[in-house]
Amino acid sequence: MEQGKRIKKGIHELYATDPLEADKMLWGREVNPFTRRGFLKKSALFAMSAVLGAHIPFWRNMPGGLIPVVLADSTEPFQLPGKHPDLVILNDRPVNAETPAHLLDDPITPADKLFVRNNGIPPQDIDINHWTLTITGESAKKTVSYTLEELKTKFKNYTYQLTLECGGNGRSEFHPPAPGNQWTVGAVGSPEWTGVRLGEVLKSAGIEEDAIYIGYYGKDTHLSGTPHKVPISRGVPISKALEPHSLIAWAINGEDLPLLNGYPLRLVCPGWPASTSGKWLEKIVIRNQIHDGTKMGGYSYRVPCHPVAPGAKVPEEEMCIIESMPVKSIITSPRSGAMLKLGQYLKLRGHAWAGDLSVSAMEVSIDFGATWQHCSLRAPKNPYAWQHWETTINFPERGYYEVWARATDDNGKMQPMLVPGWNPKGYLNNACHRIAVKIL
């Protein structure tokens, strides 16, 4: 599927238009050109199997352009298992989907409304009774392994509300355009996570004095289907790993993690790009150097170390790793396109967050940033939880308005009104969120 293309059609409509193209768009599937059956790429087979919830034993015989009957029995729009039907699918190989801003209105993000950002294919046939997490690496004093049950019983359990945001959230607004999933504002969420402190598990293996970084490895499969080829392996400095709110988590809002969000085990490194919070977690390495796993180098999750002109060619050695995410906010109510009668007051609300920091002020504007009105802002439930804000505004006359939202962090940095800091991969767009309002 072309990155940035949004699926909002029913599966019957997709297949009625062009069955083979629907196969390719939904699963990345192409068939044997002679038999017109099977799957040329294992990644397409894995993608379909993940949605069906089971392996397809006779996949070699499956005709091209055939709707799986379990999906064909439904007239509902195609959606991801365990996810709200209105999530917007940006890419299906691998699966990536964002949440429209108005669906993020809950103070604590429900699991079915949490965005999906994957780099590989989720594992199948998960046996939680035999799932283990290994801590090793050149700066680990010893190698240790734990089952899920041992993690839950040997270490103290914690529950925190923690905000995760994709580093590319807002990429769709960059110009010149940046490659990748064209996220708008919905690649963010703030659920409650339950698990154990990452630092305590690392310490159980012993941390050498030369340790400076950790790296993770998950059980997801590379899109190519090549065994042992790693789709993503990122990490954080040891100081971030040892923070009390960095977790190894197995639950979200008191329930098992959704498969597409890392079931049965994942990292949660709040305030940093969500790519540092590895899913389907099976190994953590303690390193004496900056982790050099897949998507740690080159242009991945990096921005120019110094400002550059839009469209500039930036040498790899001048790209720096993204760490704490910038201050940002969204308007969750009303939905963009609201219509009111003149004289009616409009109640506005939303959330704000600021990476490793907190939000100190929240404002809105109805005159394209010429003047700003302060909002009521709540304190976070705990560090790294997003903060709720609300206000009421009135409009002076009939017409079209845009409501802009702007947050300021503890260091006095505020969201820019325009897209900031162009970079080759379209990361860290924290420009003001806007909604349209018409006064009749």
Domain spanning 328-439 has what CATH number? 2.60.40.650
Residue 438: how many other CB atoms lie within 10 Å: 13
Model pLDDT, residue 70: 55
* Residue whose tokens read 């780099």: 119
Model pLDDT, residue 3: 41
Cα–Cα distance, 299 to 398 (Å, whole number): 47
Over its C-alpha atoms, the chain yields an Rg (Å, rounded) of 23
Distances (CA, A) of 240 to 81, 198, 244, 272, 418: 33, 10, 9, 9, 30
Q: Which two tokens stand for residue 316?
A: 């790899």
* Residue whose tokens read 């504002």: 185
Model pLDDT, residue 1: 38
Model pLDDT, residue 233: 98
* Residue whose tokens read 């599937």: 29
Cα–Cα distance, 372 to 219 (Å, whole number): 48
Q: Is residue 193 within 8 Å of residue 160, measured between CB atoms?
A: yes
Q: How far, rounded to the nearest angstrom, does the alpha carbon of residue 419 sit from its chain's CA centroid?
A: 20
Domain spanning 88-321 has what CATH number? 3.90.420.10
Q: Which two tokens stand for residue 360?
A: 């100190």
pTM over 0.75: yes
Per-residue pLDDT of the chain (440 residues; tens, 9 = 90+): 334 444 444 555 566 667 787 788 777 788 888 888 888 888 788 877 777 666 777 788 787 887 776 565 544 555 677 788 888 877 766 888 999 999 999 999 999 999 999 999 999 889 999 999 999 999 999 999 999 999 999 999 999 999 999 999 999 999 999 999 999 999 999 999 999 999 999 999 999 999 999 999 999 999 888 888 999 999 999 999 999 999 999 999 999 999 999 999 999 999 999 999 999 999 999 999 999 999 999 999 999 999 999 999 999 999 999 999 999 999 999 999 899 999 999 999 999 999 999 999 999 999 999 999 999 999 999 999 999 999 999 999 989 999 999 999 999 999 999 899 999 999 999 999 999 999 99
Model pLDDT, residue 45: 83
Residue 260: how many other CB atoms lie within 10 Å: 24
Which residues, including other chains, have CB under 8 Å from residue 283's CB and lie 6 or more apart? 133, 134, 135, 136, 216, 217
The 10s digit of each residue's pLDDT in 144-166 is 999 999 999 999 999 999 999 99
Cα–Cα distance, 293 to 203 (Å, whole number): 22
Domain ranges for the chain: 11-71, 88-321, 328-439
Q: Is residue 65 within 8 Å of residue 72, measured between CB atoms?
A: no
Q: Smallest Cα–Cα separation from 29: which of 74, 73, 60?
A: 60
What values do phi and psi take at 114, rounded to 5?
Answer: -85, 130
